[in-house]
Amino acid sequence: MSKAGTGRRKVTPVVMVGPVPPPVHGQAVADQLLFDGCYRHISLEPVALRFSTDIGDVGRARVGKVATLVRSIIEVHRARKRSSARTLVYSVGAKNLVGVTRDTALLLATRPAFDHTILHVHTGGLDAFVEQAPWPFRHLARRAYGTSSAVIHLSPSPPERVLSTQRWFFLRYGVKVPIDIDTEARQGNTARRPGPRRVLFLANLYESKGPGVLLDAAELLAQRGITFEIALAGDAPDAVYAQHLQARMRSASLAGRARATGPLRGDDKWRAVCDADVVCFPTFYEGEALPLVIIEAMACGRPVVATDWRSIDQMVEHGRTGFLVPPRDPEALADRLAELISDPQLAETMGAAGRLRYEEAFTVERFRADFEAVVSTVASR
């Protein structure tokens, strides 16, 4: 919880609502970082949402989630009463109609208790999700998401139509790097693993995150006679798709070259990033915004090959910190991976540029400071 200021400094109470790990995904990690922050001008009263028990449960309808919804609404009102807050910050991460339904119920039941509502949007595609709903529900969703005091957006482009607002702000994520990893990356002396060059995919294994596209590219690299290793690190929400990926990795062209590590957390995750030579993220995920894995790669001084999708071009500087390729294009992906695998010096140079980019724009300190500045500005009106 945020710490109030001292002396005569004015501190504005704010209720913030959002998911926290587990399960681990970008929105939950970002919200936890904000919940744990210490601020000078605002005091956060956090309300943690826990609708899912694992990554496969995210975005799925269950009867038990109705009870969770009711408890969450009650807790928001209790937090409002405890803190006397007039400002609500609500974390939006709906990735399908189930998520939109949850947001709609929560917002319609809590927004009237506050003078200001700030929507912190961690997803894309909201307009499409809302349009899929029957007309009466579309009307309710537009009321829930619309006419807020402000929208915090993960893109420099204006928010989607359903997020009609008086003001909007572009806010980049930040990540908290372990001290030992941060020291190594800052000094540029992270150890390199001997053996073939390693390409790391680090994300939950949704098909639209692109692990299959990476394996397509890996088969092309193998056909060209390029020596490499692929590591897929992530939880599998879909057991059938996970089995499909495993079967592909056992195929003649990828056996011994590709493997799945399962989900990695904490130090294991950071060491896997540092142990990689290239981080690859060929996503075309429906709800993609600013993927944390790219920031983690830059923080560790690793070059990134990713798709030119949603706001990723605000993170990867093509030709400087890595490469951007079209979505669902394994040939283009293979070309760029081959370039970095065959030219270690280029990979080193791009990784160092990525580290500078991280220090400039994606630290957790900057993330929290920019968040506080936006909330303070809106709450003081």
- Asked whether 289 and 155 are in contact (CB, 8 A), the reply is yes
pLDDT of residue 287: 83
pLDDT of residue 156: 86
The rounded distance, in Å, linking the Cα atoms of 104 and 126 is: 12
In words, the CATH class of domain 12-171+363-379 is alpha beta
Per residue in 89-108, pLDDT (tens digit) is 999 999 889 999 999 999 99
Measured in whole angstroms, how far is the alpha carbon of residue 97 from the centre of its chain?
Answer: 19
Dihedral, CA of residue 55, residue 58, residue 60 and residue 62, to nearest 10: 90
pLDDT of residue 187: 72
Q: Which residues pair with 280 in a beta bridge?
A: 305
Q: Which residues pair with 259 in a beta bridge?
A: 231
Which of 125, 133, 281 shows the shortest CA–CA distance to 217?
281
- For the chain, domain boundaries: 12-171+363-379, 179-361
Helices 179-187 & 266-275, crossing angle to 10 degrees?
20
**pTM flag (> 0.75):** yes
Do 12-171+363-379 and 179-361 agree at the fold level?
A: yes
**Kind plus residue range of the DSSP H or E element containing 132:** none
Does domain 179-361 bear CATH number 3.40.50.2000?
yes
- Asked whether 283 and 209 are in contact (CB, 8 A), the reply is yes
- Residues in the chain predicted with pLDDT less than 70, given as ranges, are 1-9, 188-193
Per residue in 154-183, pLDDT (tens digit) is 888 889 999 999 899 999 999 999 998 888
For 202, phi then psi, to 5°, come to: -130, 100
